[in-house]
Structure 1
Amino acid sequence: MPYAYTVVWCDNAAARDVLLATKRFTASRFNGAAVAPPVLLHGAGQACFPGGRINPGETPQVAADREFLEETGIDLTLPLTVATYHITHTHLINRPQFSTLYVKLAALADLNQLAADINLNIGANTPADQEHAQVQVMAEANVAAALGPSPLIPPAGWYGPPRMAQLAGIFRVHQAGAWHQIAAGFVAPGLRAMVTNELNAPFNWHGLSIGDLHLAAAAAPVVAVVLGGGPVVMVPPVLPPPVVGGPVPVAHGWNLGIARRNLVLMTAILALGLSAAVAMYRNLYPDQE
């Protein structure tokens, strides 16, 4: 089954920065529903880009946007999101087994704010899929070394306490078309090979995605950014040609991250209160003309 991923990036001086996620070891919620015991994630503990399977009838772009929303709580398709994080360009690159959607933000400040809002969402259990432990902004030149089998594998292996407290509880592993439940305590020797296959799963598609970023950057228009906190000169997002597929799902509202969402809500409350106060004043002190 094909997959779709999303790479959010921005120019930074003569280089580029990207949004990189770190997978949790186990997850207890998928599609908004709780699962018990938790499930060991493919490539657990490794760096990755948000993404997942393309559902039947979905276009790669729709799948990439949906997976990003499910894993971060941010809906990149909302006009308010586009304006909040200054999305200036999108570019889709298709490969035989996967596709990557590249989303360019106007400035590093926008990328940092997006990362902060996603981490707030993760901390509040907002995303429908509990797959990421955190996201961070990383220079493009450093991403390739962060991807793939985790460099943090301890020399003595995964199973010696206290290094692998993440694997001390009950969890399930999906291997060879079947689910296997791991008992509480560090993984028993007979099951270690199976668990290690999930932990050390290579993330080749993520490496190819970062390797194609220069192609997406070459396709992106130049956007003038006024330094010193001035306004950003926006250009409309450039979308790939439409692809025949299933209907586009209705975008969920209020997916701007907790910090921005609360700011919008408080602004709306203050505006309504001011309007009510003006109306009351006019009723109490009508014109004497």
Structure 2
Amino acid sequence: MFNLDVPPGGYAWWYVDGVSDCGTRAISVIGFIGSVFSPWYHWSGRGNPANNCCINVATYGRGGRFTMTDRGQAALVQRSDSLQVGPSIMHWNGKELIIEVEEISSLPLVSRIQGQIIVTPSAITEVELPLTQDGAHVWRPFAPTARIKVNLNSHGWQFEGHGYFDANFGTRPLEEDFSYWTWGRYPTAKGASCFYDAQRRDGTVLDTAIAFDPQGIATHLDAPGRQPLRRTLWALRRETRADPGTKPRQIKSMLDAPFYSRSVVETTVNGETVRGVHEALDLDRWANPLLKPMVAVRVPRRRNWIF
């Protein structure tokens, strides 16, 4: 699951998110090798992905915090069942993904984030989806349907809710092959629905809609077309699937960056109203060199590490 050899110029990330049953809190965790959203990896020339790795943790809601420390190769330990970057580790025990977090959040709430996150899938899927025709980018949805249990060291940051676990792997920079994409995962009465839509640089489009049952069986979903969401505070364009005559809406803002948005969205698909996690990514904006110094303020570089 984690013991992947990432080639020069490439990347891998393992992504977890969760939303509390009450809807007031959410969390995301991303383990990166060749961190695609690290300006340090870009500035390094992307020759050694292992030298730009991190475990990014973000909490959303009252008192939410963000941590994304870019670390050097000395901080990385990969095994088939675990990914460790410095003080934090993601470990698969055969039934659950257990994440032990030990990080320092960035401005404005500089503080220590410690604790444990447990993701319990209903099943592990066998799906692997190439995002480009040559297979240079691949999406691997391990657990579209899962429960999450969060126990962090801040008051109120102990909750349970619906969760998700996937991974993406690639051999080239995202901005080289895509100009824009949206992704969404929505729990449903019968499991979960996932949408992955992208505009490729070669003029083709990715147009994917998949339904997953609780046993992890995937089927093609005859989903409606894309409908616009309100733009973010950074005027980032957003859209998701929605039935004709309905309008998707943001329920909770999670991450709002100049080139990227993550949020909890409510939409209606094939007559069912669902709420789940949605992202929009503008890779034309990310490719702008003027943006990288802004991101570096939020993503400090710590090259050395001793276990």
TM-score strictly above 0.5: no
Greater relative CO, 1 or 2 (CA 8 Å, sep 6+): 1
The structure with the larger Rg is 1
TM-score by length of structure 1 reads 0.26
Higher strand share: 2
